[in-house]
Amino acid sequence: MKKLIIILLIIFPLQMTFADTFSEIKKKLKKATCMHFEFISIIESDIFETVDSTYGNAQMAKDGRYNIALGTDVYAYDLKRYFTYVPDNNQLIIEKGTAAQMMIFSL
């Protein structure tokens, strides 16, 4: 019982610290006009029994614009067009955004 109390006394302040830190992060993100993330994309396939992981980073603006690099591929949106660049075959795809998609970002 003493061990349980000691563990709880150690864990409880840690949870409060994480909760406070998370609250601070949420406040800062709410005010941010642009955010930058670095991440790892992990894709698991039950069919092929493989797991692939790729590093990426993303810049996202509050108005909906974004630029995402996933491995060597690049994805971008400028509120009017979607851009996909695949350097393996030196291909750039430009697609026009639909009115519905543009409305989502303007909300």
Are the C-beta atoms of 74 and 68 separated by less than 8 Å? yes
Confidence at residue 12, expressed as pLDDT on a 0 to 100 scale: 52
User: Please, what sign has the CA dihedral across residues 42, 88, 97, 30?
Assistant: positive
Confidence at residue 18, expressed as pLDDT on a 0 to 100 scale: 54
Whether 45 and 70 share a structural domain: yes
DSSP 8-class letter at 32: -
The SS3 call for residue 54 is strand
| Furthest CA-CA distance within the chain | 65
Q: Which domain holds residue 65?
A: 34-106
What is the pTM assigned to this prediction? 0.64
Whether 68 and 43 share a structural domain: yes
Whether 64 and 18 share a structural domain: no
User: Mean pLDDT of residues grouped by 10 in the chain (107 residues)?
Assistant: 45 53 75 86 87 91 91 93 94 82 47
